[in-house]
Structure 1
Amino acid sequence: MTLEEFQTLQDSWALHLRAERKSAQTVKTYTDGLKRFVLWCRQTSTEPDLTRPVVNAFVADLIDEGVEAATARSRQLSLRRFSAWLAEEGELDNDQLLGLKPPKLDSKIVPELSDDQLKELIKACAGKDFWERRDEAIIRLMIETGARAGEVINMEVDDFDLPGGTVIVRRGKGGKGRRSPLGPQTCRAVDRYLRLRRAHRLASTPNMWLGDRGKTLGYSGLYDSLVRRAELAGIPDFHPHVLRHTGAGRWLGKGGSEGGLMAVFGWSRRDMIDRYTRATAERRAVDEARGLNLGDL
């Protein structure tokens, strides 16, 4: 297969993914992986053959370049999914990447924010203008529900039931929807934002979160806004996903059940709890041990 043929089929695959109602972020992740593979093929004068030796060489070079293991894994997954689709469509005789093992992920610990840091982050949104009210509402929402950034920006006004204290994530990761509870302070913050939202030029649009210059809020706008608040709060190395880790740790730290956490945060696998709450697992274990008082004989 030539590079030109590869790129043409890549465009067809993107159409297929959209027809399957994959999220825009999923389509971008997959196509970015293929684009990186095409670039590597050009740089190394390699034919874009989806065989194990070629793909393994591509992934090995990525790791040698110093990319994160998760990124290398994502790039390889893109090629495996693309190869499977080509075989299904009859563009390849067989899927030679079937059963190819992904690169092993590092067990990284993502630090969670302390209660003091959360208070400073919310304090950084103090004020009565549109942007301050919007950012406080988003931060409280993400801490309490563990909503992913992509889920937040896709929310609509009708997804919120403030009198009932709930919000619906209509299309979470994997296309799964869920209903999450909202506490009184989060509901109040959302209500304050909605009252100011009525004066926005896009107030009639269904999108919940609105940005500047007459646009709805996208991922880059959400990221920039929250990072700016974190800088004002003196929180270094902040990423919006830290709020999801923090919310999970707070849930368990306050005695919430693992089953409830999985339902609210949209997880179907138990191991995700360990992955997201590893940073505070030791602290919770110490607190539990003190409560058990096993040395009292």
Structure 2
Amino acid sequence: MMENISDSINAYIEYLTSLGKSKHTTVNYKIDLTHFKGYLSNQGITDVREIDTRAIRIFLSSILGVGEAKSSASRRLSAVRGFTAWLCWRGDITEDPSLGLKGPKKAEALPRALSYEQIDKLLTEGPEEGSKSFMRDRLVLELMYGAGLRVSELIGLNWNMVELEERMLRVLGKGDKERLVPIGAPLKKLFEEWRDITCVDGRAPVFLSAKGAERLTVRTVDRIVLRAAARAGLHGVTPHTLRHSCATHMLENGAPLRVVQEMLGHESIASTQRYLSITSDQIKKSYLEVHPRALEDEEL
């Protein structure tokens, strides 16, 4: 007996409704499955028993081929999977043709980078002047941007890993791999000031907790960055945002990929190449999100 695809889709939507699915969900499923039915009809497929894996795969390829977003293709595949699984459960087909099919890989989100103006604002207005932690917070922020350190690398620094005369840090990265990271004159000065009031032993951690008994924690570094960003009027800033900004600004200023790779401790240069996708326009957009009236005042 022929199982008409249109009738099966209507029955499936009724089934979803009986399960209490929202109207929004059922409407979207019907739209996606109607699209699928139209494709199958063009291929001469009108019986659900004729739907096979190849037909579904080509259907997805056709969606991407006309320029639809990968997220749309993934959503349509989800609708088709639900439909064919239901057909199999009901006994209309003997095997589910969608099993094993994978949707298109989602585009990897680009790391966020702050604009130069935002970085300047964060470093100058972020640390709370007059507070006991002012010098520490300022050094933490400058280090994460100026040296591109990960949080774990920052809190793992000992004073015997800081070579101020050579303006170099010996950093333990992932897998305890050591690398040398250069620092600029401003960072050297901040280190000297911090050393004069905290360093009692060359093997001691550079950053200790408020009680001075143990290393600074990841959570504390997160709070330092969040508080500083809030005071500077910035939102969505994390410690890793500063590392992203460091890499992006280095590349924008002509630093070779290999140099940035070595400085940040990336095992693969592909990780570093991601920063090439963060254009000046994207950084400008990030700036305008925080300063929406900037264009009224000046050309960026």
**TM-score interval, normalised by the smaller of the two chains:** 0.5 to 0.7
Q: Deviations over 1:155-204 (max 9, x none)?
A: 101110111110010x2013311001000011111222222224xxxx44
Question: 1:213 matched to which residue of 2?
Answer: 211
Measured after TM superposition, the shift of residue 282 of structure 1 is: 6.2
Report if the CA contact (8 A) 1:130-1:196 is conserved: no
Question: 1:7 matched to which residue of 2?
Answer: none
Question: 2:256 matched to which residue of 1?
Answer: 257
Q: Deviations over 1:215-270 (max 9, x none)?
A: 42011111111111111111101110001110001111111111111111112312
Unaligned runs of 5+ in 1: 1-100, 285-297
Cα distance in 2 between the residues matched to 1:116 and 1:149: 23
1:137 aligns with 2:139: yes
CA 1:219–1:277 in structure 2 vs 1: closer, same or farther (change >3 Å)? farther
Task: Give the secondary-structure state (helix, strand or coil) at the position aligned to 1:272.
Answer: helix
Report if the CA contact (8 A) 1:130-1:197 is conserved: no
Unaligned runs of 5+ in 2: 1-101, 284-300
Report if the CA contact (8 A) 2:257-2:273 is conserved: no
1:191 aligns with 2:192: yes
The normalised TM-score by structure 2 is 0.54
Counting only pairs closer than 5 Å after superposition, residues 279-290 of structure 1 correspond to structure 2 as 279-280=278-279
Measured after TM superposition, the shift of residue 132 of structure 1 is: 1.1
Question: 1:5 matched to which residue of 2?
Answer: none
Counting only pairs closer than 5 Å after superposition, residues 219-258 of structure 1 correspond to structure 2 as 219-258=218-257
Question: 2:267 matched to which residue of 1?
Answer: 268
Cα distance in 2 between the residues matched to 1:190 and 1:231: 25
1:114 aligns with 2:112: no
Aligned-partner residue type, residue 141 of structure 1:
L
1:159 aligns with 2:161: yes
Report if the CA contact (8 A) 2:128-2:228 is conserved: no
The normalised TM-score by structure 1 is 0.55
CA 1:226–1:283 in structure 2 vs 1: closer, same or farther (change >3 Å)? closer
Measured after TM superposition, the shift of residue 135 of structure 1 is: 1.3
Report if the CA contact (8 A) 1:248-1:277 is conserved: no
Aligned-partner residue type, residue 231 of structure 1:
A
- RMSD (Å), alpha carbons: 2.4
Q: Deviations over 1:137-159 (max 9, x none)?
A: 12111112211111111110111
Residue-pair matches, total: 178
Measured after TM superposition, the shift of residue 108 of structure 1 is: 0.7
Cα distance in 2 between the residues matched to 1:168 and 1:104: 38
Question: 1:33 matched to which residue of 2?
Answer: none
Q: Deviations over 1:71-91 (max 9, x none)?
A: xxxxxxxxxxxxxxxxxxxxx
Aligned-partner residue type, residue 180 of structure 2:
R
Aligned-partner residue type, residue 227 of structure 1:
L
Cα distance in 2 between the residues matched to 1:277 and 1:220: 30
Deviates more, 1:189-198 or 1:245-254: 189-198
Task: Give the secondary-structure state (helix, strand or coil) at the position aligned to 1:234.
Answer: coil
Task: Give the secondary-structure state (helix, strand or coil) at the position aligned to 1:241.
Answer: helix
Determine what percentage of the aligned residue pairs are the same residue: 24
